[in-house]
Amino acid sequence: MSKSIKDMGWDELVQGAALFSFEGEVDYEMSQVQPEDRNYAETNSRNAYVGDWRVEKPVFNKDFCIDCQFCWIYCPDTSIIARDKKMIGVDMDHCKGCGICVEVCPTNPKSLLMFNENTDNEEALEQWPEKSEEKGE
Amino acid sequence: MNSKVMDIKKIEVWDGNMAASQAFRQADVDVVAAYPITPSTPVVENYATFEANGYIDGEFVMVESEHAAMSACVGAAAAGGRVATATSSQGFALMVEVLYQAAGMRLPIVLAQVNRALAAPLNVNGDHSDMYLGRDSGWINVSTFSPQEVYDLTLCAFKIGEHLDVRLPVNINQDGFMSSHTAQNVRTLDDKTACDFIGPYQAVNAMLDFSKPVTHGVQTEEDWHFEHKAKQHDAMMRSRKVIDEVFAEFKALTGREYKAVESYGMEDAEVAIVAFGTTYETAKIVVDNLKKEGIKAGIISPRIFRPFPLEDIAAQLQHVKAIACMDRSAPGGSVGALYNEIAGALFNSPARPVLSNIIYGLGGRDMTVSTLTEIYKDLVKEAASGKLNGTIQRFVGVRGPELTYYNA
């Protein structure tokens, strides 16, 4: 679409409010293109910022991460960013702060912890807990 | 066209249900998802029989409710197929939520609706309360008077709804039992002619087109909802042109003519009734009888309830002195819908006929030649005096004391 949907009148919208995910035809293998390189349409939900839905945010501590990819698999909003099976961080534009990534993180201490949305990340890392002696949790 | 052709005679004896089933079969529908309910059950039964006997190439989906039936229809239509279903009354009521989805998503589903009273009290017989329930749902609504019309207009419904300028669902109404179970001669088209008339299905924004991944059923909120509803209304209003074109094409093919507003005896009519469905055919007999007595009577009926042919109706009623708008649905605390529509159509025109509202035929109560004759004779008195005999609204054919409301 050459014109932004924000500038469209009723006569220009796609009938039935159908929304296309990508610009143009998909005549290539989408799985081979990284999300940041995909030609997402303006109306794709990837272009919608929903970071302000969060009350608590996950903070990632790479010092303890073993790249097990549990958080990547379990995240319901594909907001865990990984490359070559290595955890890189969290997509804060789309993470809604559900905390599932923290729940499933198996390391001791956890590599992801929930903090108040307003807590500074450096401050959060300074407060990181020590290894727990208790087995299982 | 389905790969197995059915050998049908030029004239078959079909009831309205069989007429709808045969039109579905000839339309080579991709998906029929339906949950049978009286009096539309045979539409689904007949279609299932065709399928069992190998006459249907498409899918027939058994579902667990009418809500599920219309939901399956929405899914199949969004996926990119030609889709149809049938229902009545309580089943239609259960579909209502999804009817609005189908229209808003601009999916050209065809619904064979056999009109039946809405409970309570429970009643399987015909009135128009279910048709009225769906009138604001965004579906094109067509009224039929006989099995022949059900057959013809169901074929037309696919062509109208699927037209690229329209893309709206179409509801073909027929009166429960009076049309649905009354076997009459139906002039048919052979399978190829019928299928060619409708033409191949053209998918629009189909979910099964993987080269253009698309989301249907989105959320819009205050940003875009109004624009989409405006676009939907505009498509509905402009569908009238397509309806007229399809009717013209159908007439060229079959010689059978349909109009947005059907009328009989209106050329010189001084008194007229406005009514939907099979009452039109009964009224034609009464009009003929009355003309012999020198009474200038006529009947008009909106063939198309939505988009409402407001201008056509106003034009046809300009010289009428007294009109009875006959609503076959419990009005729920006001005048009937047809009274409102006709009053609204006439208000900005020069005509000022005496306009009354008759509630009749609820739950399948017969509207007979003798009752219609009495109604016309009352209209003659009103035309002569230039004022209502009594109140604006009255019930006709109900036992007990006279039931009248609203003073003029």
ipTM of the complex: 0.88
**Whole-angstrom Cα distance, residue A89 to residue B341?**
62
Confidence class for position A135, pLDDT limits 50, 70, 90:
low
CATH number of B261-405: 3.40.50.920
Looking up residue A86, the CATH number of its domain turns out to be 3.30.70.20
Mutation to test the A interface, candidates B163, B212, B226, B236, most A Cβ within 10 Å = B212
Contacts of B221 in chain A (CB under 8 A): none
Q: Give pLDDT, residue B163.
A: 98
**Whole-angstrom Cα distance, residue B294 to residue B265?**
12
Nearest Cα residue in chain B from A29: B211
Q: Give pLDDT, residue A7.
A: 92
Q: Give pLDDT, residue A125.
A: 97
Closest residue to B205, CB basis, from A14, A26, A27 = A14
Share of chain B above pLDDT 90, in %: 99
Query: Letter for the amino acid at B398?
Result: V
**Whole-angstrom Cα distance, residue B70 to residue B95?**
6
Q: Do A15 and B216 touch (CB under 8 A)?
A: no
**Beta-strand relationship, B393-396 and B354-360:** parallel
Out of A30-44, A81-95, B76-90, B300-314, least confident range? A30-44
Q: Do A26 and B211 touch (CB under 8 A)?
A: yes
Q: Are residues A69 and A107 in the same domain?
A: yes
Q: Do B234 and A26 touch (CB under 8 A)?
A: no
A73-106: b (≥16 Cβ within 10 Å) or e: eebeeebbbeeeeebeebbeebbebbebbbebbe
Q: Do A21 and B218 touch (CB under 8 A)?
A: no
**Both structure tokens of A98:** 């559900």
Q: Give pLDDT, residue B91.
A: 98
**Per-residue pLDDT tens digits for B70-119:** 999 999 999 999 999 999 999 999 999 999 999 999 999 999 999 999 99
Q: Do A17 and B105 touch (CB under 8 A)?
A: yes
- Is residue A134 assigned to a domain? no
Q: Are residues A42 and A60 in the same domain?
A: no
**Whole-angstrom Cα distance, residue A94 to residue A45?**
9
Q: Give pLDDT, residue B390.
A: 94
A102-108 contact pairs (CB < 8 A, 24+): A102/A58, A103/A74, A104/A70, A104/A71, A104/A74, A105/A70, A105/A71, A106/A66, A106/A68, A106/A70, A107/A64, A107/A65, A107/A66, A108/A64, A108/A132
Query: Within the 148-167 window of chain B, which residues sit less than 8 Å (CB to CB) from chain A?
Result: 167
pLDDT at residue B350 tops 80: yes
pLDDT at residue A109 tops 60: yes
Q: Give pLDDT, residue A132.
A: 85
**Count of beta carbons in the 10 Å neighbourhood of residue B195:** 20
Q: Are residues A88 and A35 in the same domain?
A: no
Please compute the mean of the pLDDT values over residues B174-187 and round it to a whole number.
98
Residue A102 Cα, gap to closest chain B Cα (Å) = 30
Closest residue to A18, CB basis, from B205, B224, B235 = B205
Are the CB atoms for B3 and B57 separated by under 8 Å?
A: yes
* H or E element that contains B314: helix B310-316
pLDDT at residue A136 tops 60: no
CA distances from B62 to B31, B65, B93, B191 (A): 11, 9, 19, 25
Mutation to test the B interface, candidates A10, A21, A46, most B Cβ within 10 Å = A10
CA distances from B21 to B41, B280, B352 (A): 11, 24, 44
Q: Are residues A54 and A1 in the same domain?
A: no
Residue A29 Cα, gap to closest chain B Cα (Å) = 10
- What average pLDDT is seen over chain B? 97
CA distances from B363 to A100, A104, B88, B401 (A): 56, 61, 13, 19
Q: Give pLDDT, residue A41.
A: 94
Please compute the mean of the pLDDT values over residues B331-346 and round it to a whole number.
97
**What are the φ and ψ backbone dihedral angles of B94, each rounded to 5 degrees?**
-70, -25
Please compute the mean of the pLDDT values over residues B222-248 and round it to a whole number.
97
Contacts of A19 in chain B (CB under 8 A): 214-215, 218
B102 touches chain A (CB under 8 A): no
Q: Give pLDDT, residue B249.
A: 98
Q: Do A20 and B212 touch (CB under 8 A)?
A: yes
B207 touches chain A (CB under 8 A): no
Q: Are residues A55 and A121 in the same domain?
A: yes
Mutation to test the A interface, candidates B100, B168, B218, B226, most A Cβ within 10 Å = B218
Q: Are residues A58 and A98 in the same domain?
A: yes
B1-12: b (≥16 Cβ within 10 Å) or e: bbeeeeebeeeb
Confidence class for position B357, pLDDT limits 50, 70, 90:
very high
Q: Do B235 and A25 touch (CB under 8 A)?
A: no
Q: How far is CA B186 from the centre of its chain?
A: 19
**Whole-angstrom Cα distance, residue B55 to residue B62?**
18
Q: Do B214 and A9 touch (CB under 8 A)?
A: no
pTM of the predicted structure, to 2 decimals = 0.93
Please compute the mean of the pLDDT values over residues B23-48 and round it to a whole number.
98
pLDDT at residue B44 tops 80: yes
- Is residue A43 assigned to a domain? yes
* Helix-helix angle B147-162:B221-254, to 10 degrees: 130
Closest residue to B211, CB basis, from A5, A10, A25 = A25
Domain B11-254 CATH class label: alpha beta
Confidence class for position B257, pLDDT limits 50, 70, 90:
very high
Please compute the mean of the pLDDT values over residues B320-347 and round it to a whole number.
97
Region of residue B217 (left: phi > 0; alpha: psi -120 to 50; beta: else) = left
Please compute the mean of the pLDDT values over residues B271-290 and round it to a whole number.
98
pLDDT at residue B17 tops 80: yes
Q: Which domain holds residue A53?
A: 49-126
Q: Do B227 and A26 touch (CB under 8 A)?
A: no
Outline which parts of chain B fall under CATH 3.40.50.920. Answer: 261-405
Please compute the mean of the pLDDT values over residues B220-248 and round it to a whole number.
96
Q: Give pLDDT, residue A112.
A: 98
CA dihedral (B27, B32, B37, B42) positive or negative = positive
Q: Are residues A119 and A76 in the same domain?
A: yes
**Count of beta carbons in the 10 Å neighbourhood of residue B90:** 18
B104 touches chain A (CB under 8 A): yes
pLDDT at residue A1 tops 60: no
B235 touches chain A (CB under 8 A): yes
Choose one of A13, A30, A48: the last residue of a domain: A48
Three-class SS state of B11: strand
- Is residue A18 assigned to a domain? yes
